[in-house]
Amino acid sequence: MARAAFPGHMGAPGGPRFYEGTRGNDITAKDYNTMVQPFFGPMAGPIEFDSSTRYPHEAFFLSDAYEGRNDYVRQTIVYAVVNQNSFMTKYILPWKHQDNPNIAWNVMNMNQTLAEVAPPGAPPRYVTTDMTKKGSRMTRRALALHVNHGFASTPEGQDDWAYKIATIASCMQETCDQDGLLALLSTKDIYKQGRSRQTNMDVDDSDAILTRKQDEELFRWGIGQQEFGWQKLDAEAEHEMRLQHVQPDTWIVPPRFLNFAALGTPTATEFYRAGDEAKANLREGSDNFATFRGKKVFETKPYALEGDGVVIDPLTRERMIGDYFIDYPDKH
Protein backbone atom coordinates (compact mmCIF):
# COMPACT_ATOMS: atom_id res chain seq x y z
CA MET A 1 0.00 0.00 0.00
CA ALA A 2 1.26 3.45 -0.91
CA ARG A 3 1.48 6.09 1.81
CA ALA A 4 1.35 9.85 1.17
CA ALA A 5 2.89 12.09 3.82
CA PHE A 6 0.89 15.04 5.18
CA PRO A 7 2.42 18.09 6.86
CA GLY A 8 3.18 17.58 10.52
CA HIS A 9 0.63 20.12 11.79
CA MET A 10 -2.21 18.01 10.35
CA GLY A 11 -1.21 14.94 12.39
CA ALA A 12 0.41 14.34 15.70
CA PRO A 13 2.84 17.02 16.88
CA GLY A 14 6.44 16.40 16.02
CA GLY A 15 6.08 14.58 12.73
CA PRO A 16 3.91 13.69 9.74
CA ARG A 17 1.02 11.30 9.77
CA PHE A 18 0.35 8.92 6.88
CA TYR A 19 -2.59 8.15 4.68
CA GLU A 20 -3.02 4.61 3.43
CA GLY A 21 -3.67 4.85 -0.30
CA THR A 22 -5.22 2.27 -2.61
CA ARG A 23 -2.60 2.12 -5.32
CA GLY A 24 0.79 0.52 -5.42
CA ASN A 25 4.12 2.13 -4.80
CA ASP A 26 4.56 2.88 -8.50
CA ILE A 27 2.83 6.29 -8.14
CA THR A 28 5.28 9.17 -8.39
CA ALA A 29 4.82 12.91 -8.41
CA LYS A 30 5.13 12.89 -12.20
CA ASP A 31 2.31 10.36 -12.46
CA TYR A 32 0.10 12.39 -10.19
CA ASN A 33 0.89 15.51 -12.16
CA THR A 34 -0.63 13.81 -15.20
CA MET A 35 -3.65 12.52 -13.30
CA VAL A 36 -4.81 15.82 -11.81
CA GLN A 37 -4.50 17.95 -14.96
CA PRO A 38 -7.83 16.76 -16.46
CA PHE A 39 -9.52 18.06 -13.29
CA PHE A 40 -7.54 21.20 -12.41
CA GLY A 41 -6.07 22.08 -15.80
CA PRO A 42 -2.50 23.18 -16.52
CA MET A 43 -0.46 23.84 -13.42
CA ALA A 44 0.93 27.23 -12.52
CA GLY A 45 4.15 25.49 -11.50
CA PRO A 46 5.48 21.95 -11.44
CA ILE A 47 4.94 19.60 -8.51
CA GLU A 48 8.38 19.10 -7.03
CA PHE A 49 9.41 15.59 -6.25
CA ASP A 50 12.41 13.73 -4.93
CA SER A 51 13.57 10.98 -7.24
CA SER A 52 15.02 9.10 -4.31
CA THR A 53 11.60 8.42 -2.81
CA ARG A 54 8.74 6.40 -4.26
CA TYR A 55 5.91 8.28 -2.52
CA PRO A 56 3.98 11.12 -4.15
CA HIS A 57 4.52 14.58 -2.71
CA GLU A 58 1.07 15.96 -3.53
CA ALA A 59 0.37 16.91 0.07
CA PHE A 60 3.31 19.29 0.12
CA PHE A 61 3.30 20.81 -3.35
CA LEU A 62 -0.20 20.48 -4.89
CA SER A 63 -1.44 23.78 -3.42
CA ASP A 64 1.59 25.68 -4.71
CA ALA A 65 1.18 24.21 -8.17
CA TYR A 66 -2.38 25.61 -8.43
CA GLU A 67 -2.00 28.75 -6.37
CA GLY A 68 -4.11 31.70 -7.58
CA ARG A 69 -7.11 31.93 -9.86
CA ASN A 70 -8.00 28.77 -11.77
CA ASP A 71 -9.83 29.62 -14.99
CA TYR A 72 -9.93 25.97 -16.04
CA VAL A 73 -12.22 24.94 -13.19
CA ARG A 74 -14.19 28.16 -13.60
CA GLN A 75 -14.88 27.48 -17.27
CA THR A 76 -15.78 23.87 -16.49
CA ILE A 77 -18.56 25.07 -14.18
CA VAL A 78 -19.65 27.82 -16.61
CA TYR A 79 -19.99 25.32 -19.46
CA ALA A 80 -21.97 22.97 -17.22
CA VAL A 81 -24.39 25.80 -16.40
CA VAL A 82 -24.76 26.95 -20.00
CA ASN A 83 -25.41 23.41 -21.23
CA GLN A 84 -28.39 23.04 -18.88
CA ASN A 85 -29.56 26.60 -19.54
CA SER A 86 -33.17 27.10 -18.43
CA PHE A 87 -35.77 29.36 -20.02
CA MET A 88 -35.16 32.07 -17.40
CA THR A 89 -31.47 32.52 -18.29
CA LYS A 90 -31.89 31.70 -21.97
CA TYR A 91 -34.90 33.78 -23.03
CA ILE A 92 -36.10 36.02 -20.19
CA LEU A 93 -32.90 37.24 -18.48
CA PRO A 94 -30.01 35.91 -20.60
CA TRP A 95 -26.55 35.44 -19.15
CA LYS A 96 -24.24 38.41 -19.50
CA HIS A 97 -20.60 38.66 -18.49
CA GLN A 98 -19.97 41.56 -16.12
CA ASP A 99 -16.66 42.22 -14.39
CA ASN A 100 -17.75 45.41 -12.65
CA PRO A 101 -20.11 44.65 -9.73
CA ASN A 102 -21.53 48.19 -9.87
CA ILE A 103 -24.53 48.72 -12.16
CA ALA A 104 -25.91 52.10 -13.21
CA TRP A 105 -28.73 53.16 -15.53
CA ASN A 106 -30.78 56.20 -16.49
CA VAL A 107 -34.57 56.61 -16.40
CA MET A 108 -36.00 59.17 -18.84
CA ASN A 109 -39.60 60.41 -18.69
CA MET A 110 -41.14 62.41 -21.53
CA ASN A 111 -43.51 65.10 -20.31
CA GLN A 112 -45.54 65.47 -23.52
CA THR A 113 -47.78 62.90 -25.13
CA LEU A 114 -49.64 64.98 -27.74
CA ALA A 115 -48.69 67.92 -29.94
CA GLU A 116 -50.27 71.16 -28.74
CA VAL A 117 -52.17 73.66 -30.85
CA ALA A 118 -49.96 76.63 -31.79
CA PRO A 119 -50.93 79.84 -33.66
CA PRO A 120 -49.26 80.41 -37.03
CA GLY A 121 -45.76 81.79 -36.54
CA ALA A 122 -45.81 81.26 -32.80
CA PRO A 123 -42.96 79.21 -31.35
CA PRO A 124 -44.09 75.79 -30.12
CA ARG A 125 -43.39 74.52 -26.65
CA TYR A 126 -40.23 72.59 -26.17
CA VAL A 127 -40.29 68.91 -25.46
CA THR A 128 -39.09 68.44 -21.88
CA THR A 129 -37.77 65.36 -20.19
CA ASP A 130 -36.92 64.28 -16.68
CA MET A 131 -33.75 62.26 -16.24
CA THR A 132 -33.07 60.17 -13.16
CA LYS A 133 -29.89 58.25 -12.51
CA LYS A 134 -30.09 55.02 -10.55
CA GLY A 135 -27.58 52.43 -9.49
CA SER A 136 -27.19 49.16 -7.69
CA ARG A 137 -24.60 46.54 -6.91
CA MET A 138 -24.49 42.89 -7.81
CA THR A 139 -24.68 40.35 -5.02
CA ARG A 140 -21.86 37.85 -4.82
CA ARG A 141 -22.83 34.24 -4.24
CA ALA A 142 -20.36 31.40 -3.96
CA LEU A 143 -20.01 27.67 -3.36
CA ALA A 144 -16.84 25.65 -2.79
CA LEU A 145 -15.90 22.00 -3.09
CA HIS A 146 -13.49 19.85 -1.12
CA VAL A 147 -11.61 16.83 -2.44
CA ASN A 148 -9.17 14.54 -0.70
CA HIS A 149 -5.57 14.06 -1.73
CA GLY A 150 -5.33 11.21 -4.18
CA PHE A 151 -8.89 11.59 -5.49
CA ALA A 152 -7.71 11.52 -9.10
CA SER A 153 -6.15 8.07 -8.69
CA THR A 154 -9.40 6.22 -7.87
CA PRO A 155 -12.73 5.90 -9.71
CA GLU A 156 -14.59 6.83 -6.54
CA GLY A 157 -12.59 10.04 -6.16
CA GLN A 158 -13.16 10.98 -9.79
CA ASP A 159 -16.91 10.41 -9.42
CA ASP A 160 -16.92 12.51 -6.25
CA TRP A 161 -15.32 15.38 -8.19
CA ALA A 162 -17.84 15.09 -11.02
CA TYR A 163 -20.82 15.01 -8.65
CA LYS A 164 -19.65 18.10 -6.77
CA ILE A 165 -19.04 20.05 -9.99
CA ALA A 166 -22.52 19.09 -11.22
CA THR A 167 -24.04 20.12 -7.88
CA ILE A 168 -22.41 23.56 -8.00
CA ALA A 169 -23.63 24.09 -11.56
CA SER A 170 -27.15 23.00 -10.63
CA CYS A 171 -27.21 25.27 -7.57
CA MET A 172 -26.08 28.23 -9.66
CA GLN A 173 -28.83 27.62 -12.21
CA GLU A 174 -31.50 27.10 -9.56
CA THR A 175 -30.47 30.26 -7.72
CA CYS A 176 -30.57 32.39 -10.87
CA ASP A 177 -33.94 30.94 -11.88
CA GLN A 178 -35.47 31.77 -8.52
CA ASP A 179 -33.90 35.22 -8.24
CA GLY A 180 -34.93 36.05 -11.80
CA LEU A 181 -38.55 35.14 -11.14
CA LEU A 182 -38.62 37.08 -7.86
CA ALA A 183 -37.08 40.09 -9.63
CA LEU A 184 -39.84 40.05 -12.23
CA LEU A 185 -42.54 39.83 -9.57
CA SER A 186 -41.08 42.69 -7.54
CA THR A 187 -40.70 45.15 -10.40
CA LYS A 188 -42.88 48.26 -10.55
CA ASP A 189 -46.23 47.45 -12.15
CA ILE A 190 -46.93 50.42 -14.41
CA TYR A 191 -49.84 48.56 -16.02
CA LYS A 192 -51.67 48.35 -12.69
CA GLN A 193 -51.29 52.11 -12.30
CA GLY A 194 -52.75 52.57 -15.76
CA ARG A 195 -55.78 50.44 -14.89
CA SER A 196 -56.38 52.48 -11.74
CA ARG A 197 -56.27 55.76 -13.66
CA GLN A 198 -58.66 54.40 -16.28
CA THR A 199 -61.10 53.23 -13.62
CA ASN A 200 -61.05 56.63 -11.92
CA MET A 201 -61.73 58.35 -15.25
CA ASP A 202 -64.66 56.10 -16.18
CA VAL A 203 -66.54 56.53 -12.92
CA ASP A 204 -66.63 59.36 -10.39
CA ASP A 205 -68.37 57.81 -7.42
CA SER A 206 -66.03 56.19 -4.87
CA ASP A 207 -68.40 53.26 -4.33
CA ALA A 208 -68.53 52.67 -8.07
CA ILE A 209 -64.72 52.68 -8.23
CA LEU A 210 -64.57 50.07 -5.48
CA THR A 211 -67.17 47.98 -7.27
CA ARG A 212 -65.19 48.17 -10.52
CA LYS A 213 -62.02 47.01 -8.80
CA GLN A 214 -63.83 44.13 -7.12
CA ASP A 215 -65.29 43.10 -10.46
CA GLU A 216 -61.80 43.09 -11.95
CA GLU A 217 -60.56 40.80 -9.17
CA LEU A 218 -63.48 38.43 -9.71
CA PHE A 219 -62.82 38.45 -13.44
CA ARG A 220 -59.27 37.19 -12.89
CA TRP A 221 -60.12 34.70 -10.14
CA GLY A 222 -59.47 31.20 -11.49
CA ILE A 223 -59.52 32.57 -15.01
CA GLY A 224 -57.33 29.76 -16.30
CA GLN A 225 -60.14 27.28 -15.57
CA GLN A 226 -62.85 29.34 -17.25
CA GLU A 227 -63.96 28.80 -20.82
CA PHE A 228 -61.71 30.93 -23.01
CA GLY A 229 -60.32 32.40 -19.80
CA TRP A 230 -56.71 32.34 -20.90
CA GLN A 231 -57.67 33.91 -24.22
CA LYS A 232 -59.47 36.72 -22.39
CA LEU A 233 -56.54 37.29 -20.05
CA ASP A 234 -54.11 37.32 -22.95
CA ALA A 235 -56.19 39.85 -24.87
CA GLU A 236 -56.47 42.12 -21.83
CA ALA A 237 -52.76 41.95 -20.98
CA GLU A 238 -51.76 42.50 -24.60
CA HIS A 239 -54.00 45.58 -24.80
CA GLU A 240 -52.54 47.12 -21.63
CA MET A 241 -48.96 46.50 -22.74
CA ARG A 242 -49.53 47.88 -26.20
CA LEU A 243 -50.72 51.12 -24.61
CA GLN A 244 -47.11 51.39 -23.35
CA HIS A 245 -45.74 50.52 -26.83
CA VAL A 246 -44.72 47.05 -25.66
CA GLN A 247 -45.50 43.92 -27.69
CA PRO A 248 -45.63 40.88 -25.36
CA ASP A 249 -44.03 37.72 -26.70
CA THR A 250 -43.83 35.35 -23.70
CA TRP A 251 -46.09 33.82 -21.07
CA ILE A 252 -44.74 32.58 -17.71
CA VAL A 253 -47.40 30.50 -15.98
CA PRO A 254 -47.62 28.73 -12.60
CA PRO A 255 -47.07 24.97 -12.18
CA ARG A 256 -49.86 22.76 -13.59
CA PHE A 257 -51.46 25.75 -15.32
CA LEU A 258 -50.96 24.22 -18.76
CA ASN A 259 -52.74 21.03 -17.75
CA PHE A 260 -55.73 23.07 -16.59
CA ALA A 261 -55.66 25.00 -19.86
CA ALA A 262 -55.56 21.79 -21.89
CA LEU A 263 -58.08 19.70 -19.94
CA GLY A 264 -59.88 21.97 -17.51
CA THR A 265 -62.62 23.37 -19.78
CA PRO A 266 -65.17 21.65 -22.06
CA THR A 267 -64.16 23.85 -24.97
CA ALA A 268 -60.72 22.24 -24.91
CA THR A 269 -61.76 18.59 -24.76
CA GLU A 270 -65.13 18.23 -26.51
CA PHE A 271 -64.70 17.39 -30.17
CA TYR A 272 -67.88 19.09 -31.41
CA ARG A 273 -66.62 22.35 -29.85
CA ALA A 274 -62.82 22.17 -30.26
CA GLY A 275 -62.53 19.94 -33.33
CA ASP A 276 -59.19 18.27 -33.88
CA GLU A 277 -57.63 20.39 -31.14
CA ALA A 278 -59.58 18.35 -28.58
CA LYS A 279 -57.65 15.23 -29.61
CA ALA A 280 -54.36 17.08 -29.31
CA ASN A 281 -55.28 18.40 -25.86
CA LEU A 282 -56.25 14.95 -24.61
CA ARG A 283 -53.22 13.26 -26.15
CA GLU A 284 -50.48 15.82 -25.53
CA GLY A 285 -51.82 17.82 -22.58
CA SER A 286 -49.46 20.59 -21.50
CA ASP A 287 -47.01 19.76 -24.30
CA ASN A 288 -49.56 21.18 -26.72
CA PHE A 289 -48.91 24.68 -25.35
CA ALA A 290 -45.32 25.38 -26.33
CA THR A 291 -46.81 28.56 -27.80
CA PHE A 292 -50.08 30.36 -27.17
CA ARG A 293 -51.49 32.89 -29.62
CA GLY A 294 -48.03 33.44 -31.08
CA LYS A 295 -46.26 33.79 -27.69
CA LYS A 296 -43.73 31.42 -26.10
CA VAL A 297 -45.02 29.69 -22.97
CA PHE A 298 -42.91 28.58 -20.01
CA GLU A 299 -44.11 26.89 -16.83
CA THR A 300 -42.31 27.53 -13.56
CA LYS A 301 -41.60 25.02 -10.81
CA PRO A 302 -41.48 25.25 -7.00
CA TYR A 303 -38.16 25.81 -5.24
CA ALA A 304 -36.95 24.00 -2.14
CA LEU A 305 -35.17 26.14 0.44
CA GLU A 306 -31.89 24.80 1.74
CA GLY A 307 -31.86 23.17 5.15
CA ASP A 308 -35.48 23.33 6.28
CA GLY A 309 -36.96 21.72 3.15
CA VAL A 310 -39.70 24.35 2.77
CA VAL A 311 -41.04 24.49 -0.80
CA ILE A 312 -41.74 27.95 -2.22
CA ASP A 313 -43.89 28.63 -5.28
CA PRO A 314 -43.74 32.38 -6.08
CA LEU A 315 -46.62 32.22 -8.58
CA THR A 316 -49.06 30.48 -6.23
CA ARG A 317 -50.85 32.29 -3.42
CA GLU A 318 -53.23 30.89 -0.83
CA ARG A 319 -56.60 32.59 -0.91
CA MET A 320 -59.98 31.94 0.67
CA ILE A 321 -62.96 31.84 -1.65
CA GLY A 322 -65.65 34.26 -0.52
CA ASP A 323 -68.53 36.41 -1.71
CA TYR A 324 -69.26 40.09 -1.62
CA PHE A 325 -72.64 41.74 -1.97
CA ILE A 326 -73.73 45.21 -3.03
CA ASP A 327 -77.04 46.60 -1.78
CA TYR A 328 -78.61 48.51 -4.64
CA PRO A 329 -81.50 50.86 -3.81
CA ASP A 330 -84.95 49.67 -4.82
CA LYS A 331 -85.98 51.48 -7.98
CA HIS A 332 -89.62 50.44 -7.75
CA distances from 254 to 190, 236, 271 (A): 22, 19, 27
Q: For 296, list phi and psi in degrees, rounded to 5.
A: -70, 145
Could you please report the per-residue DSSP string of 5-24?
EPPGGGSSTTS--EEE-SS-
Instruction: Measure the CA–CA gap between 332 and 62, rounded to whole angstroms.
Output: 94
- Residue 144 banded pLDDT, cuts 50, 70, 90: confident
Interstrand relation of 129-137 and 102-110 (parallel, antiparallel or unpaired) = antiparallel
CA atoms within 13 A on the CB side of 213: 15
Beta bridge partners of 137: 102
In the predicted model, what is the mean pLDDT of the chain? 76
Q: Which of 20-24, 212-216, 322-326 has the highest mean pLDDT?
A: 212-216
Contact 161, 147 (CB under 8 A): yes
Q: What mean pLDDT is predicted for residues 4-15?
A: 31
**Confidence at residue 11, expressed as pLDDT on a 0 to 100 scale:** 32
Higher pLDDT, 66 or 50: 66
- Residue 181 banded pLDDT, cuts 50, 70, 90: very high
Angle between helices 190-202 and 229-242 (to 10 degrees): 90
Whether the pLDDT of residue 51 is over 80: the answer is no
Spatial neighbors of 33 by CB under 8 A, at least 6 apart, are 43, 46, 47, 65
Q: Which of 59, 63, 39 is nearest to 163 (CA)?
A: 39
Contact 92, 250 (CB under 8 A): yes
- Residue 204 banded pLDDT, cuts 50, 70, 90: low
Contact 37, 58 (CB under 8 A): no
Higher pLDDT, 36 or 106: 106
Question: What tens digit of pLDDT does each residue of 246-297 get?
Answer: 899 999 998 888 887 777 777 777 777 777 777 777 777 677 778 888 899 9
Q: What mean pLDDT is predicted for residues 296-318?
A: 82
Whether the pLDDT of residue 328 is over 70: the answer is no
Share of the chain above pLDDT 90, in %: 6
Interstrand relation of 102-110 and 291-292 (parallel, antiparallel or unpaired) = unpaired
Spatial neighbors of 214 by CB under 8 A, at least 6 apart, are 324
Share of the chain above pLDDT 70, in %: 74
Amino acid at 68: G
Q: What mean pLDDT is predicted for residues 31-39?
A: 77
Q: Which of 148, 147, 151 is nearest to 168 (CA)?
A: 147
Q: What mean pLDDT is predicted for residues 18-47?
A: 62
Q: Which of 61, 81, 109, 287 is nearest to 167 (CA)?
A: 81
Could you please report the per-residue DSSP string of 73-138?
HHHHHHHHHHHT--HIIIIIS-----S-SEEEEEEEEES-SSPPP--TTPPPPPP-EEEEEEEEEP
State the Rg of the chain over Cα. Answer: 31
Q: For 63, list phi and psi in degrees, rounded to 5.
A: -65, -40
